[in-house]
Structure 1
Protein backbone atom coordinates (compact mmCIF):
# COMPACT_ATOMS: atom_id res chain seq x y z
CA UNK A 1 0.00 0.00 0.00
CA UNK A 2 2.93 2.36 0.61
CA UNK A 3 4.04 1.85 -3.00
CA UNK A 4 0.50 2.60 -4.17
CA UNK A 5 0.42 5.74 -2.05
CA UNK A 6 3.65 6.94 -3.62
CA UNK A 7 2.22 6.26 -7.09
CA UNK A 8 -0.85 8.30 -6.19
CA UNK A 9 1.29 11.18 -4.95
CA UNK A 10 3.43 11.13 -8.11
CA UNK A 11 0.39 10.88 -10.36
CA UNK A 12 -1.45 13.76 -8.75
CA UNK A 13 1.65 15.94 -8.79
CA UNK A 14 2.27 15.09 -12.46
CA UNK A 15 -1.12 16.20 -13.70
CA UNK A 16 -1.33 19.30 -11.52
CA UNK A 17 2.13 20.55 -12.45
CA UNK A 18 1.62 20.10 -16.19
CA UNK A 19 -1.67 21.99 -16.26
CA UNK A 20 -1.69 25.60 -15.11
CA UNK A 21 -5.45 25.61 -15.83
CA UNK A 22 -5.81 24.73 -12.14
CA UNK A 23 -4.39 28.13 -11.27
CA UNK A 24 -7.60 29.89 -12.28
CA UNK A 25 -9.32 28.60 -9.13
CA UNK A 26 -9.64 31.90 -7.27
CA UNK A 27 -8.95 33.48 -3.98
CA UNK A 28 -7.23 31.62 -1.20
CA UNK A 29 -9.09 33.79 1.26
CA UNK A 30 -12.53 32.22 0.75
CA UNK A 31 -12.78 29.28 3.15
CA UNK A 32 -16.26 30.16 4.41
CA UNK A 33 -18.85 27.61 5.46
CA UNK A 34 -21.41 26.68 2.81
CA UNK A 35 -24.23 24.23 2.15
CA UNK A 36 -24.99 23.65 -1.54
CA UNK A 37 -27.81 21.40 -2.67
CA UNK A 38 -27.83 20.73 -6.40
CA UNK A 39 -31.63 20.79 -6.33
CA UNK A 40 -31.12 24.57 -6.07
CA UNK A 41 -28.98 24.72 -9.20
CA UNK A 42 -25.38 24.40 -10.34
CA UNK A 43 -23.71 27.80 -10.27
CA UNK A 44 -20.41 28.03 -12.14
CA UNK A 45 -19.47 31.05 -10.03
CA UNK A 46 -19.28 28.47 -7.21
CA UNK A 47 -17.74 25.64 -9.24
CA UNK A 48 -14.96 25.27 -11.77
CA UNK A 49 -15.47 22.54 -14.40
CA UNK A 50 -12.16 21.02 -15.49
CA UNK A 51 -11.77 20.82 -19.29
CA UNK A 52 -8.32 19.65 -20.35
CA UNK A 53 -6.15 16.57 -20.77
CA UNK A 54 -2.80 15.84 -19.20
CA UNK A 55 0.07 13.43 -19.49
CA UNK A 56 0.43 11.27 -16.40
CA UNK A 57 1.87 7.98 -15.24
CA UNK A 58 -1.26 7.55 -13.15
CA UNK A 59 -4.38 8.72 -15.05
CA UNK A 60 -5.73 7.47 -18.41
CA UNK A 61 -8.66 9.89 -18.62
CA UNK A 62 -8.82 13.54 -19.58
CA UNK A 63 -11.34 15.95 -18.08
CA UNK A 64 -14.20 16.80 -20.44
CA UNK A 65 -16.70 19.52 -19.56
CA UNK A 66 -19.54 17.81 -21.45
CA UNK A 67 -19.23 14.85 -19.06
CA UNK A 68 -20.57 17.02 -16.22
CA UNK A 69 -24.37 16.74 -16.27
CA UNK A 70 -26.67 18.99 -14.25
CA UNK A 71 -30.02 17.27 -13.91
CA UNK A 72 -31.83 18.62 -10.83
CA UNK A 73 -31.71 17.57 -8.04
CA UNK A 74 -28.18 16.38 -8.80
CA UNK A 75 -25.07 16.67 -10.90
CA UNK A 76 -23.43 13.58 -12.33
CA UNK A 77 -19.90 12.96 -13.56
CA UNK A 78 -19.52 10.57 -16.49
CA UNK A 79 -16.67 8.43 -17.76
CA UNK A 80 -16.68 6.96 -21.25
CA UNK A 81 -14.47 5.47 -23.92
CA UNK A 82 -14.29 8.55 -26.14
CA UNK A 83 -10.58 9.29 -26.62
CA UNK A 84 -9.54 12.83 -25.79
CA UNK A 85 -6.21 14.01 -27.14
CA UNK A 86 -3.65 11.38 -26.09
CA UNK A 87 -5.89 9.71 -23.47
CA UNK A 88 -8.17 6.73 -24.28
CA UNK A 89 -10.94 7.71 -21.82
CA UNK A 90 -12.94 10.85 -21.06
CA UNK A 91 -13.66 11.56 -17.41
CA UNK A 92 -15.03 14.53 -15.49
CA UNK A 93 -14.09 16.78 -12.59
CA UNK A 94 -15.51 19.76 -10.70
CA UNK A 95 -13.83 21.93 -8.07
CA UNK A 96 -15.44 24.18 -5.48
CA UNK A 97 -13.97 27.62 -5.92
CA UNK A 98 -11.92 28.84 -2.97
CA UNK A 99 -9.78 27.11 -0.34
CA UNK A 100 -11.09 25.32 2.73
CA UNK A 101 -9.39 24.21 5.94
CA UNK A 102 -10.31 22.62 9.25
CA UNK A 103 -13.96 21.66 9.62
CA UNK A 104 -16.57 19.11 8.57
CA UNK A 105 -17.02 18.13 4.91
CA UNK A 106 -20.17 16.33 3.76
CA UNK A 107 -21.39 14.92 0.47
CA UNK A 108 -24.60 13.13 -0.46
CA UNK A 109 -23.79 10.92 -3.44
CA UNK A 110 -24.09 7.63 -5.27
CA UNK A 111 -20.78 6.08 -6.34
CA UNK A 112 -20.00 4.89 -9.85
CA UNK A 113 -20.09 1.12 -10.44
CA UNK A 114 -17.77 -1.03 -12.55
CA UNK A 115 -14.26 -2.40 -12.46
CA UNK A 116 -11.64 0.21 -13.30
CA UNK A 117 -13.59 3.33 -12.40
CA UNK A 118 -12.83 5.62 -9.43
CA UNK A 119 -15.30 8.23 -8.14
CA UNK A 120 -14.34 10.66 -5.42
CA UNK A 121 -14.86 13.53 -2.97
CA UNK A 122 -11.69 15.07 -1.52
CA UNK A 123 -9.63 18.10 -0.54
CA UNK A 124 -6.35 18.85 -2.29
CA UNK A 125 -3.52 21.36 -2.63
CA UNK A 126 0.12 21.12 -3.67
CA UNK A 127 3.21 22.99 -4.85
CA UNK A 128 1.27 24.59 -7.73
CA UNK A 129 -0.24 26.88 -5.11
CA UNK A 130 2.90 27.32 -3.04
CA UNK A 131 1.89 24.51 -0.67
CA UNK A 132 3.10 21.04 0.16
CA UNK A 133 0.91 18.21 -1.15
CA UNK A 134 -1.95 17.97 1.38
CA UNK A 135 -5.03 15.83 0.69
CA UNK A 136 -7.92 14.04 2.41
CA UNK A 137 -9.79 11.44 0.37
CA UNK A 138 -13.09 9.67 0.07
CA UNK A 139 -12.86 7.43 -3.00
CA UNK A 140 -14.93 4.55 -4.34
CA UNK A 141 -13.24 1.84 -6.39
CA UNK A 142 -15.67 0.38 -8.89
CA UNK A 143 -14.38 -3.16 -8.41
CA UNK A 144 -15.61 -3.10 -4.78
CA UNK A 145 -18.18 -0.43 -3.96
CA UNK A 146 -18.87 -1.98 -0.58
CA UNK A 147 -15.83 -0.11 0.73
CA UNK A 148 -14.56 3.46 0.96
CA UNK A 149 -10.94 3.99 0.04
CA UNK A 150 -9.71 6.82 2.27
CA UNK A 151 -6.31 8.43 2.58
CA UNK A 152 -4.50 11.40 4.12
CA UNK A 153 -1.48 13.19 2.65
CA UNK A 154 0.43 15.80 4.63
CA UNK A 155 3.45 17.47 3.06
CA UNK A 156 3.42 14.68 0.45
CA UNK A 157 3.59 11.93 3.06
CA UNK A 158 1.06 9.19 3.80
CA UNK A 159 1.04 6.00 5.82
CA UNK A 160 -0.95 4.26 3.11
CA UNK A 161 -4.53 3.48 2.21
CA UNK A 162 -7.42 3.18 4.65
CA UNK A 163 -10.31 0.86 3.72
CA UNK A 164 -13.67 1.37 5.41
CA UNK A 165 -16.19 -1.45 4.98
CA UNK A 166 -19.78 -0.45 4.21
CA UNK A 167 -23.00 -2.29 5.14
CA UNK A 168 -24.34 -1.55 1.64
CA UNK A 169 -23.23 -1.16 -1.99
CA UNK A 170 -22.37 2.52 -2.51
CA UNK A 171 -23.18 2.22 -6.24
CA UNK A 172 -26.75 1.04 -5.57
CA UNK A 173 -28.07 3.95 -3.54
CA UNK A 174 -27.61 7.48 -2.26
CA UNK A 175 -25.78 7.94 1.05
CA UNK A 176 -24.22 10.65 3.19
CA UNK A 177 -20.43 10.58 3.57
CA UNK A 178 -18.39 12.97 5.68
CA UNK A 179 -15.00 13.65 7.18
CA UNK A 180 -14.16 15.97 10.04
CA UNK A 181 -10.74 17.55 9.69
CA UNK A 182 -9.19 18.84 12.92
CA UNK A 183 -5.63 20.10 13.43
CA UNK A 184 -4.65 16.78 15.00
CA UNK A 185 -7.10 14.23 13.51
CA UNK A 186 -9.36 13.20 10.64
CA UNK A 187 -12.61 11.30 11.28
CA UNK A 188 -14.79 9.65 8.61
CA UNK A 189 -18.56 9.12 8.89
CA UNK A 190 -21.13 7.18 6.85
CA UNK A 191 -24.81 8.10 7.18
CA UNK A 192 -23.89 9.94 10.38
CA UNK A 193 -22.15 6.93 11.94
CA UNK A 194 -18.49 7.29 12.93
CA UNK A 195 -16.40 4.79 10.96
CA UNK A 196 -12.72 5.68 11.30
CA UNK A 197 -10.44 8.07 13.21
CA UNK A 198 -6.77 8.76 12.50
CA UNK A 199 -4.73 11.04 14.76
CA UNK A 200 -1.44 12.87 14.52
CA UNK A 201 0.04 10.12 16.70
CA UNK A 202 -0.63 7.65 13.86
CA UNK A 203 0.12 9.68 10.74
CA UNK A 204 0.78 13.30 9.68
CA UNK A 205 -2.39 15.43 9.50
CA UNK A 206 -2.74 18.06 6.71
CA UNK A 207 -2.46 21.69 7.79
CA UNK A 208 -2.94 23.61 4.51
CA UNK A 209 -6.35 24.72 3.18
CA UNK A 210 -7.20 23.06 -0.14
CA UNK A 211 -9.75 22.85 -2.90
CA UNK A 212 -12.85 20.67 -2.59
CA UNK A 213 -13.00 18.37 -5.60
CA UNK A 214 -15.08 15.58 -7.11
CA UNK A 215 -14.01 13.54 -10.10
CA UNK A 216 -14.40 10.27 -12.01
CA UNK A 217 -11.49 8.59 -13.77
CA UNK A 218 -9.56 5.42 -14.54
CA UNK A 219 -5.87 4.72 -14.21
CA UNK A 220 -2.99 3.12 -16.06
CA UNK A 221 -2.25 -0.59 -15.99
CA UNK A 222 -0.20 -0.08 -12.83
CA UNK A 223 -3.48 0.78 -11.05
CA UNK A 224 -5.43 -2.31 -12.23
CA UNK A 225 -4.54 -4.28 -9.10
CA UNK A 226 -6.03 -1.42 -7.08
CA UNK A 227 -9.19 -0.34 -8.94
CA UNK A 228 -9.62 -3.30 -11.32
CA UNK A 229 -9.27 -3.58 -15.09
CA UNK A 230 -11.42 -1.06 -17.03
CA UNK A 231 -14.57 -3.14 -17.60
CA UNK A 232 -17.09 -0.48 -16.56
CA UNK A 233 -20.00 0.29 -18.88
CA UNK A 234 -19.48 3.18 -21.26
CA UNK A 235 -21.21 6.25 -19.84
CA UNK A 236 -20.93 5.17 -16.21
CA UNK A 237 -21.72 8.01 -13.79
CA UNK A 238 -21.25 9.07 -10.18
CA UNK A 239 -24.08 11.28 -8.92
CA UNK A 240 -23.89 14.08 -6.32
CA UNK A 241 -26.85 15.73 -4.57
CA UNK A 242 -25.35 17.99 -1.91
CA UNK A 243 -21.94 19.25 -0.77
CA UNK A 244 -21.32 21.21 2.42
CA UNK A 245 -18.44 22.55 4.49
CA UNK A 246 -18.78 23.75 8.08
CA UNK A 247 -15.65 25.53 9.23
CA UNK A 248 -14.17 24.74 12.62
CA UNK A 249 -16.11 26.53 15.41
CA UNK A 250 -18.98 27.45 13.04
CA UNK A 251 -22.55 26.27 13.58
CA UNK A 252 -23.95 26.54 10.06
CA UNK A 253 -26.24 24.20 8.13
CA UNK A 254 -24.93 21.04 6.48
CA UNK A 255 -26.12 18.45 3.98
CA UNK A 256 -26.97 16.17 6.91
CA UNK A 257 -29.60 18.64 8.15
CA UNK A 258 -31.91 17.68 5.27
CA UNK A 259 -30.66 14.16 4.59
CA UNK A 260 -33.11 11.36 5.33
CA UNK A 261 -31.60 7.87 5.31
Structure 2
Protein backbone atom coordinates (compact mmCIF):
# COMPACT_ATOMS: atom_id res chain seq x y z
CA UNK A 1 0.00 0.00 0.00
CA UNK A 2 1.41 3.40 -0.96
CA UNK A 3 1.74 6.24 1.52
CA UNK A 4 -0.99 8.26 -0.25
CA UNK A 5 -3.49 5.40 -0.28
CA UNK A 6 -2.79 4.36 3.30
CA UNK A 7 -3.88 7.74 4.67
CA UNK A 8 -7.35 7.09 3.23
CA UNK A 9 -8.06 4.08 5.44
CA UNK A 10 -11.00 4.94 7.71
CA UNK A 11 -12.69 3.94 10.93
CA UNK A 12 -16.08 4.77 12.46
CA UNK A 13 -16.18 7.87 14.64
CA UNK A 14 -17.40 6.62 18.02
CA UNK A 15 -17.03 9.79 20.11
CA UNK A 16 -18.04 13.37 19.39
CA UNK A 17 -17.72 16.75 21.10
CA UNK A 18 -20.73 19.10 21.01
CA UNK A 19 -19.78 22.77 20.79
CA UNK A 20 -23.13 24.31 21.73
CA UNK A 21 -26.78 23.48 22.53
CA UNK A 22 -26.13 19.84 23.46
CA UNK A 23 -29.84 19.15 23.91
CA UNK A 24 -30.23 19.63 20.13
CA UNK A 25 -27.63 16.96 19.27
CA UNK A 26 -28.22 13.27 19.94
CA UNK A 27 -25.46 10.71 19.40
CA UNK A 28 -25.85 6.93 19.59
CA UNK A 29 -22.49 5.10 19.39
CA UNK A 30 -24.38 1.78 19.39
CA UNK A 31 -26.11 2.55 16.08
CA UNK A 32 -23.48 4.99 14.76
CA UNK A 33 -26.12 7.68 14.31
CA UNK A 34 -26.07 11.42 15.06
CA UNK A 35 -29.19 13.60 14.84
CA UNK A 36 -28.95 17.40 14.94
CA UNK A 37 -32.19 19.37 15.39
CA UNK A 38 -33.15 22.99 14.75
CA UNK A 39 -36.18 24.85 16.13
CA UNK A 40 -36.92 28.06 18.06
CA UNK A 41 -34.00 27.22 20.39
CA UNK A 42 -31.54 27.24 17.49
CA UNK A 43 -29.35 24.41 16.22
CA UNK A 44 -26.19 22.65 17.29
CA UNK A 45 -22.69 21.75 16.13
CA UNK A 46 -20.68 18.60 16.76
CA UNK A 47 -17.11 17.71 15.85
CA UNK A 48 -14.54 14.98 16.13
CA UNK A 49 -12.63 15.21 19.44
CA UNK A 50 -9.29 15.23 17.60
CA UNK A 51 -7.74 16.81 14.55
CA UNK A 52 -6.47 14.85 11.55
CA UNK A 53 -3.87 15.68 8.92
CA UNK A 54 -5.14 14.39 5.55
CA UNK A 55 -7.31 11.35 4.86
CA UNK A 56 -10.89 10.43 3.98
CA UNK A 57 -13.84 11.81 5.95
CA UNK A 58 -17.53 11.20 5.41
CA UNK A 59 -20.95 10.04 6.43
CA UNK A 60 -24.30 8.93 5.13
CA UNK A 61 -26.48 12.02 5.52
CA UNK A 62 -30.21 12.64 5.28
CA UNK A 63 -31.03 16.35 5.26
CA UNK A 64 -34.04 17.87 7.06
CA UNK A 65 -37.35 17.70 5.22
CA UNK A 66 -39.96 20.36 4.57
CA UNK A 67 -39.46 24.06 3.94
CA UNK A 68 -35.84 24.42 5.05
CA UNK A 69 -35.33 27.87 3.54
CA UNK A 70 -32.70 29.85 5.45
CA UNK A 71 -30.98 26.87 7.03
CA UNK A 72 -27.48 25.58 6.40
CA UNK A 73 -26.69 21.94 7.20
CA UNK A 74 -23.27 20.62 6.43
CA UNK A 75 -20.25 18.41 6.88
CA UNK A 76 -16.85 20.07 6.75
CA UNK A 77 -13.26 20.05 7.89
CA UNK A 78 -11.78 23.03 9.70
CA UNK A 79 -8.55 23.64 11.57
CA UNK A 80 -10.63 25.55 14.14
CA UNK A 81 -14.16 26.89 13.81
CA UNK A 82 -14.21 30.66 14.36
CA UNK A 83 -10.50 31.16 13.65
CA UNK A 84 -10.17 33.78 10.90
CA UNK A 85 -7.00 32.09 9.59
CA UNK A 86 -8.56 28.64 9.36
CA UNK A 87 -8.05 26.00 6.69
CA UNK A 88 -11.37 24.43 5.71
CA UNK A 89 -12.99 22.01 3.23
CA UNK A 90 -16.80 22.06 2.92
CA UNK A 91 -19.93 20.23 1.93
CA UNK A 92 -22.79 22.67 2.58
CA UNK A 93 -26.49 22.14 1.93
CA UNK A 94 -28.34 25.41 1.34
CA UNK A 95 -31.88 25.21 2.66
CA UNK A 96 -33.49 26.98 -0.29
CA UNK A 97 -32.63 24.04 -2.58
CA UNK A 98 -32.46 20.44 -1.36
CA UNK A 99 -31.48 19.11 -4.80
CA UNK A 100 -27.97 20.62 -4.83
CA UNK A 101 -24.92 20.97 -2.59
CA UNK A 102 -22.15 23.57 -2.34
CA UNK A 103 -18.45 22.70 -2.08
CA UNK A 104 -15.68 25.09 -1.09
CA UNK A 105 -12.27 25.21 0.53
CA UNK A 106 -10.30 27.80 2.49
CA UNK A 107 -6.61 28.38 3.03
CA UNK A 108 -5.54 30.60 5.96
CA UNK A 109 -9.01 32.12 6.08
CA UNK A 110 -9.40 32.79 2.36
CA UNK A 111 -12.25 31.05 0.53
CA UNK A 112 -13.98 32.22 -2.61
CA UNK A 113 -13.77 28.78 -4.25
CA UNK A 114 -17.47 27.94 -4.04
CA UNK A 115 -19.19 25.67 -6.53
CA UNK A 116 -22.83 24.53 -6.64
CA UNK A 117 -23.49 20.96 -7.79
CA UNK A 118 -26.88 19.48 -8.80
CA UNK A 119 -27.32 16.16 -6.99
CA UNK A 120 -30.02 14.59 -9.13
CA UNK A 121 -32.09 13.81 -6.03
CA UNK A 122 -33.75 15.46 -3.04
CA UNK A 123 -31.21 15.18 -0.21
CA UNK A 124 -33.99 15.00 2.39
CA UNK A 125 -35.64 11.88 0.97
CA UNK A 126 -33.01 9.29 1.90
CA UNK A 127 -29.47 8.75 3.16
CA UNK A 128 -26.63 9.34 0.71
CA UNK A 129 -22.89 9.01 1.22
CA UNK A 130 -20.79 12.18 1.16
CA UNK A 131 -16.99 11.87 1.29
CA UNK A 132 -14.07 14.30 1.38
CA UNK A 133 -10.69 12.86 0.35
CA UNK A 134 -7.83 15.23 1.17
CA UNK A 135 -4.10 14.80 0.72
CA UNK A 136 -1.10 17.07 0.01
CA UNK A 137 -1.75 16.96 -3.74
CA UNK A 138 -5.53 16.97 -4.21
CA UNK A 139 -9.01 17.30 -2.71
CA UNK A 140 -11.90 15.20 -3.93
CA UNK A 141 -15.57 15.49 -3.00
CA UNK A 142 -17.66 12.36 -3.66
CA UNK A 143 -21.38 11.57 -3.47
CA UNK A 144 -22.46 7.93 -3.46
CA UNK A 145 -19.02 6.92 -4.70
CA UNK A 146 -18.98 9.29 -7.67
CA UNK A 147 -16.61 12.25 -7.89
CA UNK A 148 -18.51 15.53 -7.67
CA UNK A 149 -15.44 17.79 -7.71
CA UNK A 150 -11.69 17.34 -7.77
CA UNK A 151 -9.05 20.00 -7.13
CA UNK A 152 -5.40 19.27 -7.93
CA UNK A 153 -2.77 21.43 -6.28
CA UNK A 154 -0.84 23.57 -8.72
CA UNK A 155 2.72 24.66 -8.05
CA UNK A 156 2.71 27.66 -5.73
CA UNK A 157 -1.04 27.39 -5.06
CA UNK A 158 -2.19 27.91 -1.44
CA UNK A 159 -3.45 24.64 0.02
CA UNK A 160 -5.18 23.43 3.20
CA UNK A 161 -2.26 22.05 5.24
CA UNK A 162 -3.36 22.50 8.86
CA UNK A 163 -4.67 19.53 10.88
CA UNK A 164 -8.46 19.70 10.91
CA UNK A 165 -11.47 18.59 12.92
CA UNK A 166 -14.50 17.03 11.22
CA UNK A 167 -17.51 19.27 11.94
CA UNK A 168 -21.25 19.21 11.24
CA UNK A 169 -23.95 21.68 12.22
CA UNK A 170 -27.42 23.01 11.49
CA UNK A 171 -27.86 26.79 11.72
CA UNK A 172 -29.92 29.70 10.42
CA UNK A 173 -27.88 31.43 7.71
CA UNK A 174 -30.61 33.90 6.68
CA UNK A 175 -28.36 36.79 7.62
CA UNK A 176 -25.76 35.91 4.97
CA UNK A 177 -26.04 38.09 1.86
CA UNK A 178 -29.53 39.27 2.90
CA UNK A 179 -30.93 35.76 2.51
CA UNK A 180 -29.72 35.23 -1.03
CA UNK A 181 -27.36 32.40 -0.03
CA UNK A 182 -29.70 29.98 1.75
CA UNK A 183 -33.01 31.81 1.51
CA UNK A 184 -34.89 33.39 4.41
CA UNK A 185 -35.90 31.28 7.38
CA UNK A 186 -39.60 30.40 7.50
CA UNK A 187 -39.68 27.65 10.12
CA UNK A 188 -43.11 26.29 9.25
CA UNK A 189 -41.89 22.67 9.40
CA UNK A 190 -39.78 22.87 12.58
CA UNK A 191 -38.29 20.95 14.22
CA UNK A 192 -35.82 20.17 11.45
CA UNK A 193 -33.56 17.15 11.89
CA UNK A 194 -30.36 16.40 9.97
CA UNK A 195 -29.28 12.77 10.42
CA UNK A 196 -25.82 11.27 10.05
CA UNK A 197 -24.94 7.55 9.92
CA UNK A 198 -21.63 5.71 9.73
CA UNK A 199 -19.44 8.79 10.20
CA UNK A 200 -15.93 7.96 8.97
CA UNK A 201 -12.56 9.47 9.91
CA UNK A 202 -8.99 8.42 9.09
CA UNK A 203 -7.33 5.59 11.00
CA UNK A 204 -3.95 7.27 10.67
CA UNK A 205 -2.65 10.84 10.85
CA UNK A 206 -4.35 11.65 14.15
CA UNK A 207 -2.62 14.68 15.60
CA UNK A 208 -1.50 14.15 19.18
CA UNK A 209 -3.12 16.37 21.81
CA UNK A 210 0.19 17.92 22.82
CA UNK A 211 0.79 18.91 19.20
CA UNK A 212 -2.63 20.57 18.85
CA UNK A 213 -1.65 23.43 21.11
CA UNK A 214 1.41 24.36 19.06
Q: Which category describes the TM-score, using the shorter chain as reference length?
A: 0.7 to 0.9
Question: Residues 148 and 247 of structure 1: is their aligned pair in 2 closer, same or farther, counting only changes over 3 Å?
Answer: farther
Question: Residues 67 and 95 of structure 1: is their aligned pair in 2 closer, same or farther, counting only changes over 3 Å?
Answer: same
Q: Distance in 1 between matches of 2:170 and 2:81?
A: 23
Aligned 1:1-261 pairs, distance under 5 A: 34-36=10-12, 46-51=15-20, 64-70=21-27, 72=31, 74-82=33-41, 90-113=42-65, 114-126=68-80, 132-201=85-154, 204-223=158-177, 224-232=179-187, 233-246=189-202
Shift of 1:127: 9.2
Which consecutive aligned stretches of 4+ in structure 1 deviate over 4 angstroms post-superposition? 31-34, 126-129
Shift of 1:73: 5.4
More helix by share: 1
Q: Distance in 1 between matches of 2:165 and 2:72?
A: 19
SS in structure 2 at match of 1:66 = helix
Which has the higher relative contact order, 1 or 2, with Cα contacts under 8 A spaced 6 or more apart? Answer: 2
Question: Residues 201 and 210 of structure 1: is their aligned pair in 2 closer, same or farther, counting only changes over 3 Å?
Answer: same
Unaligned regions of 5+ residues in structure 2, if any?
Answer: 1-6, 206-214
Shift of 1:204: 3.0
Question: Residues 184 and 167 of structure 1: is their aligned pair in 2 closer, same or farther, counting only changes over 3 Å?
Answer: same
RMSD of aligned Cα (Å): 2.7
Unaligned regions of 5+ residues in structure 1, if any?
Answer: 1-30, 38-42, 52-63, 83-89, 250-261
Shift of 1:70: 3.6
- The farther-off stretch of 94-103 and 213-222 is 213-222
Question: Residues 195 and 81 of structure 1: is their aligned pair in 2 closer, same or farther, counting only changes over 3 Å?
Answer: same
Q: Distance in 1 between matches of 2:128 and 2:85?
A: 32
Q: How many residues align?
A: 192
SS in structure 1 at match of 2:97 = coil
